[in-house]
Amino acid sequence: MEWLTGLVSAALIATLIGYVGWNALTEQMDPPEFAIEATGMERMTGGYRITFDIENRANSTAAAVVVRGELLRGEESVETVDVTFDYVPGESQSSGAILFTTDPGSAQLTLRAIGYTDP
């Protein structure tokens, strides 16, 4: 009985190692694809905090991801602020905040990723 249990366990482990290895060799790595959504705004001493979520919908990790927040009035940029995430792993979501001195309620807010590096 012990031999049977050992053989079944060895077969399961070999199958698991084979599956992980096959996925590592054949999985296509798509470039990072970001979706950014503002989740809140609050007044603080000296300005305003805009909280947001950044989602990497691809399966590859991005490093040094720069998110730019910009306040616009018409075509004119009122204030621009950048924040950098060390890493945004593939198929994950992270949160952050951008700090403005201008009231975001008086302008149009845009949030977008403007760059990253491959880790």
Which residues are 94's β-sheet partners?
A: 54
Question: Containing domain of residue 14, as a range?
Answer: 1-29
Residues 62 and 112 in one domain: yes
Indicate the burial class of 83 (C-beta count within 10 angstroms; 0-12, 13-18, 19 or more): middle
Looking at the chain, which runs of residues are DSSP E strands?
34-44, 47-56, 62-73, 76-88, 92-100, 108-117
CATH code where residue 96 lies: 2.60.40.1620
Examine the pLDDT at 65 and tell me if it is beyond 90. Answer: yes
Banded pLDDT at 7 (limits 50, 70, 90): confident
Residues 85 and 98 in one domain: yes
pTM: 0.78
Q: For 21-53, what is each residue's pLDDT tens digit?
A: 887 777 788 899 999 999 999 999 999 999 999
